[in-house]
A and B are shown apart, each in its own frame.
Chain A
Amino acid sequence: MNAVAGLYDNPILWKHIRSRLRPQHLYPSIIVVVVICGIIAWGGDMLNGMRNGRVFGILLFVQWGLLVVFGTSQVATAVAHAKDSGILDFHRVSPLPASWVTTGFLFGAPIREYILFACTLPFSIVPALMGVPGAAGLVTIYPVLFVSTVLYHMLAVLLGSVSKKPRGAGSLAVVIAIFTHMAGGWWSMLGGGGGTAGLLTVIPAYTEATRSFDPRMPVLGLAVPGFFGMEMPLFVQSLIYQFALLGFVYAAAVRKMRSDRAHAYSKPLATAFLITVALLSLGSLWSTSAPRWMGRISSLWTVVAMLYVVVFAAVLLTNSVTPTASEFANGMRRANKHGHRRLEPWHDLALNHWATLLFCGIVAAAAACAYLLLALPNAPTGSVWLPTLVAVLVVAYFGSARQYFELAFGKRGTPYFLLFLFFAWLVPIILGTIIAWTNWGEDASLAILSVSPLVGIGTAAGGEDFRGALRVSQSTNIPFSLTFTILFTALAIQARRRAEASVRAASPAV
């Protein structure tokens, strides 16, 4: 039962081949797609767009739509529906490994979209071979398109297995896919460290392939990021980033496929994921200077961008490593039953304290490495450690607060936590923006904006390129973040003691 057999002899894959490739559904779809592609090719030929890459570009967009948009929706809906109906439980209790079930949904649910994609290939390959991007371009673009497709489909499997409503899962998966491509595309056009986001799409590989065959098509400020100092084509970098992310999303999807109650990421897995995100971010920063369009802004901002990426990942992963109140109580009961006071800190049901601490360490270490790599020790001292301090504190209080609200309020914990984030993260931005519009003062506006970490990490970096206003707001966030960290850590410890006492009181024999 090797990996190859897991694909061709996969019962879930065959289930989808049977149900989704029935002639009455497949043939009309093929006719529609072939006619659309034919019209595009004919129209492109009439407008002399066959050789300059325009027809290929439009057809690549159609192929992207089929695979990424329709395929992703299909995968998320199929998994969510299987979960909702309860049939996923049949797969869970069958001897079929969870990895096979995951692979079956991954390649089976979008099988019709793959067939339709195959039908479009002759229309896109011919104009590509006639001019731009040529055979070499095709060899670089299509592997990236395929791997990025699998990445979004895998994300859809994960979303489908955690979502409560089948329709919601499909829509959310599509929104994420489209948003990532829009944002990634924009950033990859800008280049620099921000191009990292674009590496999760086919856009950098397409841009690289088409530009290399037509030097008259300049790309705005495109800076090849390199990977840990190595000169490397963008399509190879894209594949590295996509495969790395794919591995971690796959691991989470398999965990959820194995058990509905399991957390998507265990604490060790989440830590490994965060380290990988930090490493990949660092990899693209290694030999990058700031994008040209930014002009005078120092490369410090590239590091700040990386901090945002790592903090965002840490915040997302914190949700996966935080047990609910009932999970924590169950863990306590289990530990007590086996004669222990509490579970080991890396258990899914153990509190997130140690994981949060580790996340903070990873954020700090990543920032330190980035400063060293970009030779920033010469930058003003405050601009080096202040944004790092804010980032670390944000991760710390996010973890403590998440755990506190879960323990103290049970099912109401998440809404209360979101309410706290609204006041701590969004209200300062709204107020700061209003003050900026009403011309009450740039200093006040920036100071209030900086209370939110969404802005505060950036403004903490300061920078001589900005006016004095930034110096005022440079340390505004720190008192807030520090207070939240101390407050929520204390509250979380208190809530933990209460929860432990409550469990012990219910089972006095222990």
Chain B
Amino acid sequence: MIKVRDLRVDYDNLCAVHDVSLEIGPGEVYGLIGPNGAGKTSTMRAVVGLIEPTYGEIEICGVDIREKPEDASQIIGFMPDFPPVYDDLMVWEFLDLFAASYWIAPAERPGVIERHLELVGLTEKRNSLVIELSRGMRQRLVLAKTLLPDPQVLLLDEPASGMDPNGRADLKRALKSLAADGKTVLVSSHILSEMSEFCTSVGIMEKGRMVVSGKVDEVMAEVMGEGTLVVEIVGESDGLDFIVAGNERAGAIKRQDNTFQFPFRGDATAASELLATIVQSGFRVASFSRKREGLEELFLKVGAKELS
């Protein structure tokens, strides 16, 4: 797991990260969101040990990154936003280099490399020179390199940028699978619609500060306030607005034909009670759903206007 307390990073006269704290547990996928210059990359680079923070405490699975950086590096996988590679190596040689760097035994390396090439869909490119790969393929190669040592904690900075739809689908699958295996994932991305599919927690940064952070549902409830219920009725629907208005948790109703939409402050139990009342009143309900806001709405609501 990742524990960050009071992290501050300064560059010259700029405070890039200002007293940021966060805690990400095993099996969590934490999405770090923010406009350019918000401090996401600086936070990640400090967590991984590439930047010495001005101050702050960073623990990875209980290991203090400053006191035992070599122990911490065994359990961290890091993928930066621009994937650096050795152009003059073949694909398998590149992975072999990092397999050796993470002390994977020579006898095990070929098997591990093949497995990861297959995972990112680069098996056919095994003997190609890295210079011949497209940007998306390089991104996949670096992802394979990052997953190679089976790290407990993954930090991915814009992992999907430059990837084609297949690559993104593979990435999503990989992240979900990693979370299911109990790994801790910290990921930053500008593609918020995709992040909402696999993030369990989210943090929004702006001007170096963490504006909001927590489980996606909690943050949504906190920021977006009331959820919205959508009820679709078959047949006669007159009178439904009286029933809804009678519920103290419901807000003003918007009606479009037989579809009713209204803010609702209650939880799932309260929503089911309202549904039961509607059905008992003789209305034929075609659909009854809670409308979820996406991360994009959340991000815009928090005030970060500039999506890069």
Which residues in A have some Cβ–Cβ distance to B below 8 Å? 9, 11-12, 14-15, 18-20, 85-87, 89-97, 259-262, 325-326, 329-330, 333-334, 337-338, 410-411
Question: Measured between alpha carbons, how far is A261 from B73 in the docked complex, in Å?
Answer: 18
Q: Of all chain A residues, which has the CB nearest B75?
A: A95
- 14 A-B residue contacts at CB 8 Å? A85-B84, A87-B84, A89-B50, A90-B98, A93-B76, A95-B101, A96-B101, A259-B52, A261-B51, A326-B10, A326-B11, A326-B13, A330-B54, A337-B54
Given contacts A86-B80, A86-B82, 8 further A-B contacts (CB under 8 A): A15-B89, A19-B88, A19-B93, A85-B85, A86-B84, A87-B85, A95-B103, A333-B8
Q: Is the CB of B88 within 8 A of A93?
A: no
CB pair A94 B73 closer than 8 Å: yes
Report if B236 contacts A (CB, 8 A): no
Does B84 lie within 8 Å of A93, measured CB to CB? no
When distances are taken between beta carbons in the complex, the residues of chain B under 8 Å from A337 are 6, 54-55
Alpha-carbon distance A27/B111, docked complex (angstroms): 32
**Distance in angstroms between the alpha carbons of A338 and B98 in the assembled complex:** 38
Contact with A along B43-58 (1 / 0, CB 8 A): 0000011111011000
Q: Which residues of B contact A90 (CB under 8 A)?
A: 78, 84, 98, 145
Chain B positions within 8 Å of A333 at CB level: 8, 10, 54-55
A18–B89 CB distance below 8 A:
yes
B100 an interface residue at 8 Å Cβ cutoff? Answer: yes
Do residues A15 and B97 form an inter-chain contact, with CB atoms below 8 A?
A: yes
A326-B12 in contact (CB<8A): yes
Contacts of A326 in B (CB 8 A): 10-13
Residues of B within 8 A of A (CB): 6, 8, 10-13, 48-52, 54-55, 70, 73-74, 76, 78, 80, 82, 84-86, 88-90, 93, 97-98, 100-103, 145
Query: With A261-B52, A333-B8, A333-B10 in contact, is A11–B101 under 8 Å at CB?
Result: yes
User: With a CB–CB cut-off of 8 A, which chain B residues contact A338?
Assistant: 55
Instruction: Report yes or no: B102 in contact with A95, Cβ–Cβ below 8 A.
Output: yes
Residues of B within 8 A of A86 (CB): 80, 82, 84
In the complex, chain A residues whose CB is within 8 Å of the CB of B50: 89, 92-93, 260
Number of A-B contacts (CB under 8 A): 83
Task: Identify which of A12, A94, A410 gathers the most chain B CB atoms within 10 Å of its CB.
Answer: A94
Residues of chain A with a CB closer than 8 A to B98's CB? 11, 90, 94
B101-A19 in contact (CB<8A): no
Looking at the assembled complex, report how far the CB atom of A367 sits from the nearest CB atom of chain B, in whole angstroms.
Answer: 38
Q: Quick one: which of A15, A95, A329 contacts B73, CB cutoff 8 A?
A: A95
Residues in A whose Cβ lies below 8 Å from that of B48: 93
Across the A-B interface, give the 5 residue pairs with the lowest CB-CB distance, nearest first.
A11-B100, A86-B84, A87-B84, A19-B88, A94-B101
Shortest distance from the beta carbon of A213 to any chain B beta carbon, whole Å: 44
Determine the distance from Cα of A11 to Cα of B103 in the docked complex, in whole angstroms.
Answer: 10
Contacts of A95 in B (CB 8 A): 70, 73-74, 101-103
Do the beta carbons of A91 and B101 come within 8 Å of each other? yes
**CB-CB < 8 A to A89: which residues of B?**
50, 78, 80, 84
Q: Which residue of A lies closest to B12 (CB)?
A: A326
Give B50's nearest chain A residue, CB to CB.
A89
Residue from A96, A261, A338 having most chain B Cβ neighbours under 10 A? A96
Nearest CB of B to A80, in Å: 13
Chain A residues near B89 (CB-CB < 8 A): 15, 18-19
**Residues on the B chain within 8 Å of A94, using CB:** 73, 98, 101-102
Residues in A whose Cβ lies below 8 Å from that of B13 = 326, 410
Question: Is B97 a contact of A93 with CB atoms below 8 Å?
Answer: no
B8, B13, B48, B97: residue with the most chain A Cβ atoms closer than 10 Å: B97
User: Closest A-chain residue to B142, C-beta based?
Assistant: A90
Residue of A nearest to B78 (CB): A93
Minimum CB distance partner of A9 in chain B: B100
Instruction: State A87–B93 Cα separation when bound (angstroms).
Output: 15
**For the complex, what is the distance from the CA of A447 to the CA of B170, rounded to whole Å?**
76
Q: When chains A and B are docked, how far (Å) is the Cα of A243 from the Cα of B207? A: 49
Bound complex: CA of A333 vs CA of B8, how far in Å? 10
Complex Cα–Cα for A97 and B68 (A): 12
How far in angstroms is the closest Cβ of chain B from A183? 35
Tell me the smallest distance from the CB of A145 to a CB of chain B, in Å: 28
Among residues of B, the one whose C-beta sits closest to the C-beta of A1 is: B103
Docked pose: A176 CA to B188 CA in angstroms: 44
Shortest distance between the CB of A359 and any CB in chain B (Å): 26
Could you tell me the distance in whole angstroms from the C-beta of A262 to the nearest C-beta in chain B? Answer: 8
Chain B nearest CB from A509 CB (Å) reads 11
Q: Which single residue of chain A is at the shortest CB-CB distance from B49?
A: A93
Give the most central of A9, A95, A261: most B CB within 10 Å: A95
- Pair B12/A410 contact, Cβ less than 8 Å: yes
Give Cα A337–Cα B102 distance, bound, in whole angstroms. 35
B55 touches A14 (CB 8 A): no
CB pair A11 B97 closer than 8 Å: yes
Taken together as a complex, chains A and B put the C-alpha atoms of A15 and B93 apart, in Å, by 8
> In the complex, which residue of chain B has the Cβ closest to the Cβ of A338?
B55
